[in-house]
Amino acid sequence: MSAQVQTSRKTVRDIAAAKGGTPLVCLTAYTAPMAELLDSRCDLLLVGDSVGMVVHGLPTTVGVTLEMMILHGQAVMRRSTQAFVVVDMPFGSYEASVEQAFLNAARIMKETGCQAVKIEAGEYAADTVRYLVDRGIPVMAHVGLRPQATNVDGGFKARGRTDAERNRTISEAVAADEAGCFAMVIEGVAEDLAAQITRQVSCPTVGIGASASCDGQILVTDDLLGMFDWTPKFVRRFADLRDTIGKAVDAYAAEVRGRTFPGPRETYALKRP
Ligand code: KIV
């Protein structure tokens, strides 16, 4: 008996093949309804650990747990069928050893059904990338500004301001690429550095605050939808949902207080036999 897996999802090959071609369209997704909306419009959906800040109100991504990532990963996988889905490995789930990284990455893959994991890759992480890839787990690396490292970096600061920092960012990117990551996020670097990394690595680069010189772009979906009062410089708001939602809720509240909602159309009538 042979079992054939039917899937129309993009694969790791489709993502890797985008190097130097039409830019990859990538967004974060944390919930089933949002995954359904984004699925056919994006090449890649990232269940980012930014979920901790965006959905759970945490001050940084450091407090995000493996269980949170699995829960959100499952929701996104349930309502997407086309986009390539990557789940972030949270802080503390992969840095201690390659074995720890493998066990937790395997758990994420098994329990969510996602296609790959992402890790924030300092130079030390190249061994982890190689270990996971060799054992069947596709890895997306994340270089430049690394939100999980804000406590050592002293905040969310763009990277590559000094020659030393610039060279380190390049080394991190090259090390992750040589270790076999299929793609990498570059966050918070100036255009010339993003362009140099994009030229130097063989995998596609996906920028966030890293200019149009990358092979693709990613944003936190809630940022582009205008859900927050404040957004970083690199975000363009393509909608103002905060205002739209505020006005809708004001209208609802006024109708409830004025007893005009619910009206006859929204009220069940007793049907007599
Ligand atoms: O966690 C996240 O959403 C991310 C993106 C911002 C790249 O890592």
pLDDT for position 3: 53
pLDDT for position 12: 97
What's the CATH code of the domain at 216? Answer: 3.20.20.60
pLDDT tens profile 26-83: 999 999 999 999 999 999 999 999 999 999 999 999 999 999 999 999 999 999 999 9
Is the residue at 94 inside a domain?
yes
Nearest CA to ligand 1 atom 8: 48
Active site residue 187: yes
pLDDT tens profile 173-184: 999 999 999 999
The mean pLDDT value of the chain amounts to 95
Structural domain range at position 188: 12-239
Is the residue at 159 inside a domain?
yes
Is the residue at 272 inside a domain?
no
Long-range residue pairs from 91-98, CB within 8 A, at least 24 positions apart, any chain: 91/49, 91/61, 91/62, 91/64, 91/148, 93/66, 94/119, 94/125, 94/128, 95/125, 98/127, 98/128, 98/131, 98/132
Q: Is the pTM of this model over 0.75?
A: yes
pLDDT for position 1: 46
Is the residue at 6 inside a domain?
no
Nearest CA to ligand 1 atom 2: 48
Is the residue at 270 inside a domain?
no
Can you tell me the distance from the alpha carbon of 260 to that of 1, in angstroms, rounded to the nearest whole number?
62
Is the residue at 3 inside a domain?
no
Residue 2 clears pLDDT 50, i.e. is over it? no
Is the residue at 251 inside a domain?
no
**How many folded domains does the chain comprise?**
1
Report the atom number in ligand 1 closest to the C-alpha of 147.
8
Per annotation, catalytic residue among 165, 187, 191, 266: 187
Residue 5: pLDDT band by 50, 70, 90 thresholds?
Answer: low
